[in-house]
Structure 1
Amino acid sequence: MYESITFEEKNGAAWLTLNRPEKYNAFTEQMNKEITHALKKTADDEGIRCLVITGAGKAFCSGEDLSRIGEVTNHGEILRTRYNPMIQALARLEKPVVAAVNGVAAGAGMSLALACDFRLASEKASFIESFINVGLVPDSGQFHFLPKIVGMAKALELAILGEKISAQEAKKLGLVTKVIALDDWESETGAFAERLAAMPTKAIGLIKRTLRESMSLTLDEILEKEAFAQRVAGLTHDHQEGVTAFLEKREAVFEGK
């Protein structure tokens, strides 16, 4: 079904793997389209309660495949037609999304990781704002996500200096949730995904949506958004299960409904 990614489901989680290891999983038009398609499938499938995005081989994603960049006459149009729909679909996904950064995440590859909800980093992972090194500016949502994660001053520093950041430094900056040793990479990323997949998915979606909207709202508007979200969450099966489990002094078994 896919040529440049793989997509599989296991234990309630979907695993989307960028699969051009010989090119360090660099983006192509085909890959952008396939990722966007897989994101739509994730959104539509109630059986998928968590999404993990990772890379095959040594890299997470090295950004745009530059082998054909000389043919490009309108970089903005590439963003509008290829990257923006992908990032928008990812940001609007009301299920938890984990970037399992197994190697370098550069340029738009770093953008992809930043657009996810959680970033797990292998101890060998690294991040680099490589746009400046080819005379370009950050894109694919970087101006939205990066300053919100690390602050304006640090975002400016990273974007202009274009220096490689180790997984350990990324953790200090708040870019990643956790740094994982190579020997534990598969087991810990799998366990993290399964943990999220077993949580109340509808509540997670409401949290994501409300937090996203809150960035541009007043306190009064946020209070109303919270009331609306709580009303919706209160009608879910998982809320009833959570209350029942609490009263019965047992672990809740959420179904994502």
Structure 2
Amino acid sequence: MSALLRIETAGATQVWTIDLPHVGNAITDTEFIAAFEAAVAAANADLDVRAVILTGAGKIFSAGGNVKEMADQQGMFGVSALDQRRAYVDGIQRIPRALARLEVPLIAAVNGPAIGAGCDLAMMCDIRVASERASFAESFVQIGLIPGDGGTWFLPRAIGYERAAEMTFTGDRVDANTALAWGMVSRVVAHDELLAEARALADRITKNPTHALRMAKRLMHESRTGPLESTLGMAAAMQPLAHRDPEHEQRISRWRSTV
């Protein structure tokens, strides 16, 4: 386990905490990205894990890229344009690719500002629960950049094209209540209740059978972009596996006993 991404397990739920408060929980560090990929692989391999909560240490969910490194032209920001292209592919773009591989539901517990790539990271999650102190900004244009991590793919799918365009073209910040009204988050709670609320949601998810949950997650992701026929085909292939799962048989037996 990396010190940059703290992982705690309670029952069938893992809590992943980005622990880089000194740089606003920036997510462009290559060591953090590698730790993130490792966490995804480990969760996929452990069938006892049925949900993951992602949050940030301190007052910020994530400030996105490390702006100081950009200003000082350090690391990937100090190389040629062609090398920088590869640095994006081999760097921060590994995060959306890793999350696309995560087999269990992912809940963002947004404890504070989610800015730039931090906003995009929240949009990559399946469900978002926000503290009253949370805010969101697709702020790249304000410093002369574009979303380099897939934000233009994730944000419109979360809130629709027009609102995503407004956020992307202005860079303006959206507060927690506006995020709720726009459907960016599923609920806003008192700051001190954030993790408890996320855990309660995870508990309702993790009570369900492992394999059905993981297959449902895959179907939900494929359905975001795939045609109906492809989704129906996948469902037809997956459902017989679910029917043969001992957990399904146990649930059916319990249901029979109550009828």
TM-score, normalised to structure 1, is: 0.91
Does 1:44 find its partner at 2:53? no
Cα deviation for residue 213 of structure 1 reads 2.3
- 1:73-93 Cα shifts (integer Å, max 9, x gaps): 344323211222221111221
What is the percentage of aligned positions where both structures have the same residue?
32
Secondary structure of 1:62 counterpart: coil
- After superposition, the Cα gap between the structure-2 partners of 1:4 and 1:172, relative to the gap in structure 1 and judged at 3 Å, is same
Check conservation: 2:24, 2:63, Cα contact below 8 A. yes
Cα deviation for residue 186 of structure 1 reads 3.1
- Please, which moves more after superposition, 110-119 or 201-210? 201-210
Cα deviation for residue 105 of structure 1 reads 0.6
- 1:8-53 Cα shifts (integer Å, max 9, x gaps): 1112111110001122211222211111111111111112111111
2:36 corresponding residue in structure 1: 35
TM-score, normalised to structure 2, is: 0.90
1:25 corresponding residue in structure 2: 25
Measure, in 2, the Cα distance between the counterparts of 1:231 and 1:66: 50
- Partner of residue 148 from structure 1, selected from 148, 157, 179: 157
1:221 corresponding residue in structure 2: 230
- After superposition, the Cα gap between the structure-2 partners of 1:247 and 1:167, relative to the gap in structure 1 and judged at 3 Å, is same
Cα deviation for residue 150 of structure 1 reads 1.3
* AA aligned opposite 1:247: R
Check conservation: 2:115, 2:137, Cα contact below 8 A. yes
Q: Which sections of structure 2, spanning at least 5 residues, go unmatched? A: none
1:128 corresponding residue in structure 2: 137
Query: C-alpha root-mean-square deviation of aligned residues, in Å?
Result: 1.7
Measure, in 2, the Cα distance between the counterparts of 1:87 and 1:162: 21
* AA aligned opposite 2:103: E
Measure, in 1, the Cα distance between the counterparts of 2:16 and 2:90: 21
* AA aligned opposite 2:181: K
Check conservation: 1:111, 1:139, Cα contact below 8 A. no
Cα deviation for residue 216 of structure 1 reads 4.0
Report matched runs for 1:158-177 at 5 Å.
158-177=167-186
Measure, in 1, the Cα distance between the counterparts of 2:247 and 2:2: 34
- Please, which moves more after superposition, 173-182 or 21-30? 21-30
Check conservation: 1:33, 1:82, Cα contact below 8 A. no
Check conservation: 2:5, 2:17, Cα contact below 8 A. yes
- Please, which moves more after superposition, 65-74 or 131-140? 65-74
Cα deviation for residue 225 of structure 1 reads 2.0
2:216 corresponding residue in structure 1: 207
- After superposition, the Cα gap between the structure-2 partners of 1:6 and 1:222, relative to the gap in structure 1 and judged at 3 Å, is closer
- Kindly tell me the number of residue pairs found equivalent between the two proteins: 250
Does 1:95 find its partner at 2:104? yes
Measure, in 2, the Cα distance between the counterparts of 1:88 and 1:49: 20
